[in-house]
Structure formats: C-alpha cells, structure tokens
Amino acid sequence: MQQQRTGSRHSSRGVTLVELVVAITIVAIAATTVMGAMSAISSRSADAMVQQQAATIAQAYLEEVLQRPVTDPDGVEPESGRGQLDDVDDYAGLVDAGARDQFGNALASLSLYTVAVAVAQSSALAGVPATATRRVDVTVTHSSGVVVRLSGYRTAY
C-alpha cells in the first residue's frame, strides 16, 4: 500500500539569501581580523631582524677596534686605508655607508646600514690614566630608523 500525501509538497530546506549574506559578512570580518594580526606580526618580525643585524654589525666593528693597541705600533699617521688601521685612534671618525669587512670591502647585503665609530680618551676606569684609556662607541643606523649603539673600553695595558 502506498501512502498518499494530501495537498502538501515535500519541501527541501536550503539557505536563504539573508543567511548567505550574513555568513559571508562574518567570514569577511574574521578574515580581515586575522590578516591584520598577521600583518602586524610580520612587520614586528622584520624590525627584530633589522635590529639583530645592526647589533651584530656593531659588535663586529667594536671587536675589530678593540683588538688594536692604544699606541700606534708603526708611528705612521694617517694610515692609507681601512685594512691599514693599526691602532684604536685610527678608527676615530670612521663612517661607513654600508657595512664593510675589516679590509674595507663592501658587504652588499648590508648596504642599508651606516656605521659610525667614535673614539675618545676616557677617565671612566678608576686607577687607569685617561691618556692610556680609550672609549669606543660604535653606532649602526638602518635606513628604516633602527639605531644600535655599542661601547667598549681599551687600555694601553
């Protein structure tokens, strides 16, 4: 026996236009929020990388300078190039547009950094005469505005 339906159609339930518009709006808001957060995170990540590179460059320059003696070993002033700098005072006023290695060769991937070295006599170390002490300040600046400064002392002893 077949059952007969009387006057009603079998209706299937679908999605109305209003429900579809609401769902699209919710998905768009969620996607915008997630993309905004990811954008902020990625920009902070780039800043951290630039700051880390600047700190590493400053450390390399500072180590290079501090390995030199306070007194000039050959008595020749001024030296003819970066590879010839042989005492701490030779680095005073050094400015490199673009990071360079210890021989003065440009490092192409670090061309957006500017490095400045300042050297001065210092009386900050108790018991060591100022004439035998140098304070070395290395400042590395990136074109994005990131600035890193490292300082160190070198004595004639």
Answer yes or no: are the C-beta atoms of 62 and 68 closer than 8 Å: no
113 - beta bridge partners? 142
Token digits of residue 108: 């192409």
Q: What is the pLDDT along the chain (157 residues), one digit of tens a residue?
A: 555 555 555 566 788 888 889 999 999 999 998 988 888 777 666 678 899 999 999 999 999 999 999 988 888 787 778 888 889 999 999 999 999 998 889 998 999 999 999 999 988 888 888 889 999 999 999 999 999 999 999 998 7
CB 57 within 8 A of CB 75: no
- Write down the domain spans for the chain: 17-155
Contact predicate 64/144, CB 8 Å: no
Which amino acid is located at 16 in the chain?
T
Give the dihedral sign, CA 149/155/156/157: negative
Tell me, what's the pLDDT at 78?
74
Helix (H) or strand (E) holding 150: strand 147-155
Q: And the tokens for 150? A: 């490292």
CA dist., res. 43 & res. 46, Å (int): 5
104: tokens are 């003065």
- Size of the chain in residues: 157
**Residue 15: per-residue pLDDT:** 80
Q: What is the DSSP track for 6-29?
A: -S---------HHHHHHHHHHHHH
